[in-house]
Structure 1
Amino acid sequence: MTVLIAYFASEAYFNISSKAAIAKVYKYGARGDQVIEIQTKLKKWGYYNNSVDGIYGYNTYLSVKSFQSHNGLVVDGVAGSQTLAAIGINPSTSDSSGTASGQNVTNNKDVDLIARLINGEARGEPYEGQVAVGAVILNRTSDARFPSTIAGVIYQPGAFTAIVDGQINAKIEDSSIRAARDAINGWDPSGGAVFYFNPETSTNKWIWSRPLIKIIGKHRFCS
């Protein structure tokens, strides 16, 4: 079955037009009809098992990586021109709504900022807990109670201890960078949390009123 898929995928690749070189790139955060087509084709071939919703989330990202791995493509979870062609989609027909250009899509500066916040807040915590802290930052950008940008969330007055005590400037560890990238790519071990705290050090009584979602390491993640 895999060999047959690879054959058709390769044939689709070699039959694409030269316009593929300037095709749009679809990655985490993208939305639109083209994402629906990506999900539909991957689901047909058994790479994608979730609902076809037109949102390039974590499950779509993992499915694209799996497809790339089985078809000799660069495994990065990004549906660029070669991956689109291999899936059987003509990249030159990409729709304008499919680009990952929403307000929550991150750049390298955002990755570094999230990594530094993780490093300052969760250094020494289990890796899952580090990713969860990054996820909380991203979850807040989509919540009307918080600023809509990553920098706005992180630097919101009094929001994070690492800003107050300067730990955001501590020497950064590799795990913090990896955790930031995993959070950006859609892994949310926090279960959608927008708050977390360490009960051993927190002096904020209000935070205890927030509904608990889960505990990871020393942190309680709450909604």
Structure 2
Amino acid sequence: MKKFTLVPILLGLLVSFSFIPIGKVEAATPALSYGSKSGDVWDLQFRLRTRGYFSGKITGVYDTRTAAAVRNFQRNYGLRIDGIAGPQMRDKLKKVSVNASELDALARLVYSESRGEPFVGQVAVASVVMNRVQSHVFPESVKGVIFQRWAFTAVDDGQYWLTPNAEAYKAALEAVRGWDPSHHSLYYFNPATATSGWIWSRPQTVRIGHHIFAR
């Protein structure tokens, strides 16, 4: 009888596993459906409410109201309409909405960058942030955009940490819900103080208050 040894077998296994990349394994985003109860459901409901799809008390329970809101969102964004908040639906929702922390961050930016501007101008500033989130050349999250190095003067000089007023929150929410008086702009600047020749080269879309908005 031919004798076998474990050494070649073990060596073969080691070689096989050596080609498997070792790194951080990210857990798949779990699908949420009727009956789910978690903080993820609370976040889902909050985001849907910022987009105008969900109303009433946020409970963290995936009920019939939540399923209906998910179906309406799926319908409007060309997704499979099944009332289940799967990874694709939630990824899309995150791109066009904010959670509680992001809404606070956006309101802080609006207040610190445009307090004293007309309300429409404050909405336009918030819209620039949301437009950058959608653009492939900027970070993919609200906070990523806001805290990108040298992106906003108010962050650099510390004014960002001022406490926003109710108008700033309202302006932020209007921008999240789709009002974009900036006309899809990615930049804005004050012509009285701008020193960058590059910003003047950008295609301008509209002037609101003290700001010129540009793409």
Query: Which bracket does the TM-score occupy, shorter chain normalised?
Result: 0.5 to 0.7
- Evaluate the alpha carbon distance shift between residue 148 and residue 83 of structure 1 in structure 2; reply closer, same or farther with a 3 A threshold: closer
Q: Contact (CA 8 Å) 2:127, 2:179: kept in 1 or not?
A: yes
Matches of 2:34 and 2:82, distance apart in 1: 9
- Evaluate the alpha carbon distance shift between residue 151 and residue 82 of structure 1 in structure 2; reply closer, same or farther with a 3 A threshold: closer
| 2:194 aligned with 1:211 | no
- Evaluate the alpha carbon distance shift between residue 83 and residue 107 of structure 1 in structure 2; reply closer, same or farther with a 3 A threshold: closer
Per-residue CA deviations over 1:100-157 (Å, capped at 9, x if unaligned) read 4334232110000011011110000011110111110011011122111111111111
TM-score, structure 2 length as denominator?
0.62
Matches of 1:100 and 1:176, distance apart in 2: 26
Q: Contact (CA 8 Å) 2:124, 2:175: kept in 1 or not?
A: yes
- Evaluate the alpha carbon distance shift between residue 218 and residue 99 of structure 1 in structure 2; reply closer, same or farther with a 3 A threshold: same
Root mean square deviation, CA, Å: 3.6
Q: 2:27 — aligned with what?
A: none
Q: 1:166 — aligned with what?
A: 158
Unpaired segments of 5 or more residues in structure 1? 1-18, 31-56, 66-72
Please point out which of 106, 124, 129 is paired with 2:98. Answer: 106
| 2:174 aligned with 1:182 | yes
% same residue: 36
Q: Contact (CA 8 Å) 2:46, 2:99: kept in 1 or not?
A: no
Structure 1 counterpart SS, 2:138? coil
Q: 1:81 — aligned with what?
A: 64
Q: Contact (CA 8 Å) 1:190, 1:213: kept in 2 or not?
A: yes
- Evaluate the alpha carbon distance shift between residue 213 and residue 28 of structure 1 in structure 2; reply closer, same or farther with a 3 A threshold: farther
**Which structure carries more relative contact order (alpha carbon 8 Å, separation 6+)?**
1
Matches of 1:194 and 1:27, distance apart in 2: 28
| 2:139 aligned with 1:156 | no
Structure 2 counterpart SS, 1:106? coil
Paired residue type of 1:161: T
Q: How far 1:82 sits from its partner (Å)?
A: 4.0
Per-residue CA deviations over 1:40-92 (Å, capped at 9, x if unaligned) read xxxxxxxxxxxxxxxxx97xx4xx69xxxxxxx85x9xxx734876xx99xx9
Q: 1:220 — aligned with what?
A: 212
Structure (1 or 2) with the larger CA radius of gyration: 2
Matches of 1:29 and 1:101, distance apart in 2: 11
- Equivalent pairs counted in the alignment come to 163
Q: How far 1:198 sits from its partner (Å)?
A: 0.7
| 2:128 aligned with 1:145 | no
Paired residue type of 1:101: D
- Evaluate the alpha carbon distance shift between residue 146 and residue 98 of structure 1 in structure 2; reply closer, same or farther with a 3 A threshold: closer
TM-score, structure 1 length as denominator?
0.60
- Evaluate the alpha carbon distance shift between residue 188 and residue 21 of structure 1 in structure 2; reply closer, same or farther with a 3 A threshold: same
- Evaluate the alpha carbon distance shift between residue 20 and residue 150 of structure 1 in structure 2; reply closer, same or farther with a 3 A threshold: closer
- Evaluate the alpha carbon distance shift between residue 100 and residue 188 of structure 1 in structure 2; reply closer, same or farther with a 3 A threshold: farther
Q: 1:11 — aligned with what?
A: none
Q: Contact (CA 8 Å) 1:28, 1:185: kept in 2 or not?
A: no
Q: How far 1:28 sits from its partner (Å)?
A: 10
Q: How far 1:217 sits from its partner (Å)?
A: 0.9
Aligned ranges for residues 41-56 of structure 1 at < 5 Å? none
Q: Contact (CA 8 Å) 1:29, 1:100: kept in 2 or not?
A: no
